[in-house]
Structure 1
């Protein structure tokens, strides 16, 4: 397998997960600070998850620079990271 193909797959999975996170956000009942404050739990969870996924993406991007050959164990390792 081509390294670029596995990188594109990983990027696509992370992008889909980040998109699904946004879809789960609720709209405030009133457009005010009180309306946002009422949803602080879900918005905080979104923010934490988004930056955790972003950190994961950056880490994987840096690791791909060191990979020279893609083998079956590397593919399974990558899938395991994406699963958890």
Structure 2
């Protein structure tokens, strides 16, 4: 059943009272730490400059969501599986 406006507002007030660390804990699924080779890091920086995206995490999240929307064929072509 859909929540009423009152219920949504009550939940928003609870969320607003949380600290930044508590909010992150609610949203964060997992953390991935990866080492980048110089060429990969340079490609990441070039792509960030081309797109105007300043945060690595933002760009990587967009790549993940974009790849998720691709068909299997599009994804295979993009990462050259075949």
Could you say whether these structures have the same fold, taking a TM-score greater than 0.5 normalized by the shorter chain as the test?
no
| Higher normalized contact order (CA 8 Å, seq sep 6+, divided by chain length) | 1
Report which of the two structures shows the higher radius of gyration computed on alpha carbons.
Answer: 2
Which one has a larger percent helix, Structure 1 or Structure 2? 1
TM-score range with shorter-chain normalisation? under 0.3
